[in-house]
Amino acid sequence: MSRKLTTNHVAARAGVSIGTLYQYFASKQDILAALAQRRAGAVRDAIAETIIRKPDVSSVRPIVQALMNGFEGSPATRQTLLDAMFLRGGDSVLAQHHEAFLAAIAGRARLQVELTPESAFVLTHAPIALLRAAAAEPELGLDPARLEDELVRLMESYIGALVAARR
């Protein structure tokens, strides 16, 4: 994706001059990072709404699916967008989305468990880190449906353990 995408193509598609495009974005990487941030924000907001509507373990699969499908396109496109987002935002990108997610559900979701900073960290970072690793390692040939099942199993087990520990 990245090699086929040019700032001239972006400007033409947006209906603006290349000079106008460069007023907002310094490079192609900045455009990709902004697109990735927009998509990540949309996924984060959709997941927050899912949890607010149905704050139980039955929400896990739709959440995993949202994470897996939030960046449309080929695996190479997803990897290009994620790389651009992390290149521009650094490792703090996940922390920013984590904080925004917690703020979005604060006082609006009736969870079965009390989220400590540690459990919230695990719940938000584990699936993202594993999906990022899967995208970075296409040579593993992971089957998306099976990976989804494994992520659901992981998250449901963890939430179940949190519920059991609360009793």
pTM for this model (two decimals): 0.83
Q: What digits encode the pLDDT tens for the residues 98-153?
A: 999 999 999 898 888 888 999 999 999 999 989 988 888 889 999 999 999 999 99
Q: What digits encode the pLDDT tens for the residues 17-63?
A: 889 888 888 888 888 888 899 999 999 999 999 999 988 888 999 99
Q: What digits encode the pLDDT tens for the residues 67-83?
A: 999 887 777 787 888 88
Cα–Cα distance between 113 and 108 in angstroms, integer? 14
* H helical segments located in 28-143: 28-53, 60-69, 75-89, 92-105, 117-136
